[in-house]
Each structure stands twice: as C-alpha cells, then as structure tokens.
Amino acid sequence: MSKGYTWRITLIILFIVASAVYLTPTLVSSLPSWWGGVLPKDKIHLGLDLQGGTHLVMEVETQKAVEGSLDLIATDLEDSLTQKNLRFKKIGKLGGDKVQLTLYDRSSADEVVKLVKKKYPDLETLPLFDEGGFVNLQLRVNEKEAQVRKDRAVAQALETIRNRIDQFGVSEPIIAREGINHIVVQLPGIKDPKRAIELIGKTARLEFKLVDENVNAATASAGNIPEDDELLFEKRTDPQTGAVSETPIVTKKKAMITGDLLTDAQVRIDSQYNQPYVAIEFNSTGARLFDQVTAANVGKRFAIVLDSNVYSAPVIRERISGGSAQISGSFTEKESSDLAIVLRAGSLPAPVKILQNVTVGPSLGADSIKKGLVAGLIGVVLVVIFMAIYYKLSGMVANLGMVLNIVYLMGALAALGATLTLPGIAAIVLLVGMSVDSNVLIFERIREELRLGKTPHAALDAGYDKAFLTIMDSHVTALITAAVLFQFGTGPVKGFAVSLSLGIIINLFTSLLATRVLFDAFLDRVHVKRLSI
C-alpha cells in the first residue's frame, strides 16, 4: 500500500457498499422496520415492456381551451355591464377567437370600450361598426395571447391527468409533455386499462343549470328552443336489465355554478335506497353562490350536468346553505367512485384525444424479463470465458472490472429511481462489451511494451498511459450520442440512453482506475518476471 493507491481501494469499496445499500430495496421485497430515515427506499422500476401496462399518447385540443376562455369572458362581461348599468342587447362568442357585444348606441359603446380595455388589456379591441341599427364591438384573442392560453391549457391538463391517476391508485406512472400539445402517459402494471383511459380522457366539466320548464322537452328539438336554452339528455341505466334510457331536458345555456368551485367529492351510500351517490363540498365562493341560487329558485328544477350529460335534475325544495350538495343517479359504485375522482382532480381545460393506445400484457412483460436476463447472462458468460482464455490471469482482472461495472450501474439506477426497460437491458449488455473493449485496448498496449523488453511494472504504466486518450475519446463520443438520444428520444429510447450514459461514466472509472489498482496491488506484493497476459 506504499504507492498511494490506498485511497483508490477505499473508493472502490465505498462504491460497492453504496451500490449494495441502494440495491437493497430492489432486491428485498419487504424491508425491516428499522430500514428508513436516512437509508434509501427508492428502487429500480420496471418499464411497460417488462411488467406490462398501457402506453397512451394524447393530444390536447388547445383551440377548445381558447374558445372556453371566451365563454367565461362573455359571461363575466355580461355581469360587469349589468353592475355598471350599461345597456346591451347581446353578448356572445363569435367563431373560435372573438367575443361580440351588441349595444344600443355609440355613447354606451364608448363606455364599454373603456371598460373592456381596462379589464382585458391582453385582448385586441376591433373598431366599432353599425349593423341593423345597433353598434357592435368585437374583442379578439391575438396570436400571442392565444398561444399563451394554449400552452397553459396543456400544462393544466398535464397536472389534472396526474392528479386523476394518483387518485386512481396507479403505482409509478410516467406522465410527461411531448411536443407542443401532446401528453405521454405510461401506466405500468394496470389491471383495468379501459377504465383508466375513460377516467383520464373525461373532460369532467361540472355545471349546475336551471331547467327551463316553459319548454316541452319531449317535443323539443335543437331548432325550436329559445336561443339561450339547450337540449340535453339524462341517461338512466336499469340495474336489472342494463338497458339505457335517455330523457330529454331543456336547460339554460348559462351555468349558475361550475365545478371549479368544488373542494371535495366523496362517494356515499343512500341509507334509504342503498344506492351510491357523490357528496360534494363547495369553497366559500361556491357555497355563497349555491345559497343565493337555491334561495332564488325554490320550486324549480336544477340540472347537474357533467360533460353535457345530465346526471340528475332534482327540484329545489328549499334554500341550501352550508355549501354541500349531492349528485345522484342510476350509476354503480365504480361509476360513482370514478365521478368523485374526476371532480376532486378538477376538469380538463380542453378535451383530449387519444392518438395512440398500446397495451402490453403482464405475461408478455414477464417473457421479456426472462429473455432479457437470459440474453444478458449468455453475453456475460461468453465474454468471461473469452477473456480468461485469451488474456489468462489479466483477463480475470478485466472480468472483475466488468462485474464491478454492472454492480455500480445497477446501484446508480436504483439511487436515481430509474425505470428499467428492455432497451435498458440492451444498454447493460452493450456496457459489458464496452468494458471488455477498454481492457483489450489497455492489454494490447501492455503486450507491445513487454515485447520491447520492459519490466512488468513499466509495461503496465506505459500501457495504461498510452491507452488513456483513446479510451477517453471513444467514451466521450459515446456519451454525446447518449445525451442526444435522451434529449430527443421518447419512452424506451430514453431508458436506453439513461443506462448507456451511466454505464459510460462508470466504465471510465472501472477500466482506468479499478483494474489498475488490482494490477498495482498484485505487482507491489508479488515479484513477477512475466505478466500472465
């Protein structure tokens, strides 16, 4: 230990211990009670291709988010003008990017323009124009503001989907944004993919609307109802036969209260009819509005609408204070549970469309693990035999370095809580080849030095020194390639890039430092005239 390699041996041992500690949660199914606190709990997760599950690529229809924001602006402007006693004929959305206000005279229009510019500085105010004896003002969402709203919609959709999946109970999901308006969702080990997809993709816009009792819903159609009304349907499922019936209901278009004001939603069982329902709680603003609306509309029907479907339309018997309500209907406990989840997680800011849906069965995943492990094991055994035969005892040193490589890499993956995929296993097998390749370069250099008549120690020093730059160059270029794969790749490609990047860095340590220490320690203690290489 006199040649200053004590610190290197210590470092190697520390890395082995650290790898073992980080790998323990992965290798041991149930950790003892004292394992916790400062000791790591993260483990290597298995990707979809290894344990089965569902891979979804979803597109957020961002233009719908822009149109939805225009609806809110129109409603808000209606309330603001009413409060300021500014007369108007009509306010409504025009196309996908405009709101039009129809006013009675120019003086009112000028006042409205001032109010709008102050209240919505980000919207573009178009010049006033006369039509049919009225003055019209149009507000337009400019391209920059529209892009901001679209980007915000994708970010909000991502968060909403993550909340839904967390409440659904999927372990170790992967939810990430891809490109401008795509979201990638991976649900490993999921047992009911159809239910999960329905839950994730549901827009879940909850609205409370007054039923228009003046219109006969049975004979109504979209063409003969008032402009401020809409025709919806209440679906009911017969619990015995499973038959679905639809009852038409005409409601006001304007929602009195929306699901944005909810704080909680829980499944309850009706003690009288033994049927599940969803109990909801409003925040302070929602509770105040619900109190006002129910007080002003006693005796009228109040439709509870989710994604344009009426769940129930009960009669308001009395003023409801306290901010509590319930959504009942002819649905199962599972349906009511899913409804509670989406209400708690919030509605999506825009509809999402599933572009790709790939489901991997658990049996296929288990088969992938088996084949991957067999392929890796065969590769390692063949390399070990080759190195032992061709490079003799020096080859066994290289084999030890290769084993250290794998141990360190698995420990690093566990420390990062990384996801191991089938391409990741391929990267580990590739690392075995890279480890051997580095040692082959060093050993061939040592052989050249020995042929020149140098002593084993001198040949060893020269061999490592001369191979250093070559090994560094090859590893740096490979690391750049792995970085590009990680940056621009998706899913399994990223898994390959992560394993490869870590493996390259670790291989530099083991090939240039760990194996060198073994040679130095052996030559320092044993006087040899000829290296077994």
CATH code where residue 210 lies: 3.30.1360.200
pLDDT digits (tens, 9 = 90+) for 439-492: 899 999 998 988 888 888 888 889 899 889 899 998 999 999 999 988 887 667
Residue 194 located in a structural domain: no
User: What's residue 167's pLDDT?
Assistant: 77
Domains: count for the chain: 3
Q: Please, which residues have CB within 8 angstroms of residue 2's CB and are 6 or more apart in sequence? A: 524
Residue 168 located in a structural domain: no
The domain boundary, picked from 146, 161, 193, lies at 146
The residue among 526 and 156 whose pLDDT is bigger is 156
Residue 21 has pLDDT above 50, yes or no: yes
Residue 1 has pLDDT above 50, yes or no: no
User: What's residue 232's pLDDT?
Assistant: 92
Residues 353, 416 within the same domain = no
The residue among 2 and 419 whose pLDDT is bigger is 419
Residue 180: count other Cβ atoms within 10 Å of its Cβ: 12
- Cα 342 from Cα 167, distance rounded (Å): 9
> What's the average model confidence in pLDDT over 284-312?
87
The domain boundary, picked from 81, 114, 146, lies at 146
- Cα 324 from Cα 291, distance rounded (Å): 10
Residue 182 has pLDDT above 90, yes or no: yes
On whether the CB atoms of residues 47 and 492 are closer than 8 A, the answer is: yes
User: What's residue 490's pLDDT?
Assistant: 67
Residue type, 251: T
Residues 37, 84 within the same domain = no
> Nearest CA to 60 among 129, 155, 130, 148?
155
Residues 243, 343 within the same domain = yes
> Nearest CA to 418 among 426, 407, 429, 410?
410
Sign of the CA dihedral running 31, 36, 40, 46: positive
The domain boundary, picked from 358, 385, 416, lies at 358
304 — pLDDT class (breaks 50, 70, 90): confident
What is the 8-class DSSP label of residue 478?
H
Residues 29, 83 within the same domain = no
**CA–CA–CA angle 354, 265, 300 (5° rounding):** 100
Identify the CATH number of the domain in which residue 368 sits. 1.20.1640.10
Residue 89 has pLDDT above 80, yes or no: yes
On whether the CB atoms of residues 159 and 200 are closer than 8 A, the answer is: no
Domain of 140, in residue numbers? 63-146
On whether the CB atoms of residues 520 and 5 are closer than 8 A, the answer is: yes
Residues 500, 417 within the same domain = yes
Residue 113 has pLDDT above 50, yes or no: yes
> What's the average model confidence in pLDDT over 505-516?
90
Interhelix angle 422-451/492-509, rounded to 10 degrees, is 30
Helix ranges (H only) for 120-174 are: 143-168
Residues 389, 288 within the same domain = no
Q: Please, which residues have CB within 8 angstroms of residue 168's CB and are 6 or more apart in sequence? A: 196, 199, 341
207-221, 231-245, 266-280: the lowest-pLDDT one: 231-245
Q: How far is CA 88 from CA 112, 121, 248, 314, in A?
A: 10, 21, 32, 33
> Nearest CA to 343 among 173, 185, 167, 156?
167
SS3 at position 303: strand
State the average pLDDT for the chain.
Answer: 84
User: What's residue 210's pLDDT?
Assistant: 92
pLDDT digits (tens, 9 = 90+) for 391-439: 888 889 899 999 999 999 999 988 888 878 778 888 888 888 888 889 8
On whether the CB atoms of residues 298 and 318 are closer than 8 A, the answer is: yes
Say what the pTM is.
0.62
SS3 at position 332: coil
On whether the CB atoms of residues 310 and 249 are closer than 8 A, the answer is: yes
On whether the CB atoms of residues 190 and 56 are closer than 8 A, the answer is: no
198 — pLDDT class (breaks 50, 70, 90): confident
- Cα 170 from Cα 186, distance rounded (Å): 10
Residue 332 has pLDDT above 80, yes or no: no
Residue 14 located in a structural domain: yes
User: What's residue 249's pLDDT?
Assistant: 92
2 — pLDDT class (breaks 50, 70, 90): very low
- Cα 291 from Cα 243, distance rounded (Å): 36
Residues 306, 213 within the same domain = yes
Residues 75, 39 within the same domain = no
- Cα 145 from Cα 98, distance rounded (Å): 12
- Cα 508 from Cα 525, distance rounded (Å): 26
Residue 237 located in a structural domain: yes
What is the 8-class DSSP label of residue 514?
I
Residues 428, 518 within the same domain = yes
Q: How far is CA 410 from CA 57, 191, 416, 448, 514, in A?
A: 29, 28, 10, 35, 17
The residue among 198 and 20 whose pLDDT is bigger is 20
Residues 394, 434 within the same domain = yes
Q: What are phi and psi of 227, to 5 degrees?
A: -60, -35
